[in-house]
Amino acid sequence: MNQSDFWSMYGNRILEGIGPHLFLTGVSLGLGILFAVPLGILLTRFPRWSGPVIAVVSVLQTIPSLAFFALALPYLGIGMQPALVVLFLYSLLPILRNTYVGVHAVDATLIDAARGQGMTNWEILYLVELPLAAPIIVTGIRLAAVYLVSWATLASLIGAGGLGDLIFAGLDSYDANLLMAGAIPTAMLALLIGFVFGLVRRLVTPRGIRKEVRVRWI
């Protein structure tokens, strides 16, 4: 099958699948950011709780995807809702861990200098800690986003739609073209999202750090 025949046969189904797939990925990622970033910052203020909290979130990450979706069915039914809950829980670890590590790693002398200039704790957070931690935080968001694109394919098994519908339909019917119609766009979405967040990471990296990295590479 040539390319034009492929797109004429599966193009509409691919476009129909991309919408729900992006919705699942985007909403669960957004919820993960809203929850995990503030929690990561809070844990830097109470570091003795960081180990237990991150360990609990890590346990969620170890649950196999199919098992996690199956566990959600009796309580949340089928469709978008259970898929969003499961994907949200999967998004937490990389964002939470990187937020905690990024903020915690800010040089204490910089914080002391900012405090010596009369900055409040909130000003230190927004003007010193978060700008310096931003590249690490964005890296965690990037990892979560790429993971969610792949995990969202399994959400079709509980009626959430997306590109996974094409993949599993291809597997059920032994149709390699239908399988590729779901797998190729999914892979391209993951690569595209990874590339975009790579650019965002570069944009949020302070210029001084960028110059330092260039010098090290040279």
Query: What is the model's pTM?
Result: 0.89
Please write the tens of the pLDDT for every residue from 51-79.
999 999 999 888 888 888 988 888 898 98
211 close to 205: Cβ distance less than 8 angstroms: no
Condensed to tens digits (0 to 9), the pLDDT of residues 154-187 reads 999 898 989 999 999 998 888 888 899 999 999 9
| Domains of the chain, first to last | 3-217 (1.10.3720.10)
CA distances from 165 to 10, 96, 127, 162, 176 (A): 12, 31, 45, 6, 14
Contacts of 199 (CB under 8 A, 6+ apart): none
pLDDT band at 217 (very low <50, low <70, confident <90, very high): very low
- The one-letter amino acid at 106: V
Looking from the CA of 80 toward its CB, the CA atoms found within 13 Å total 11
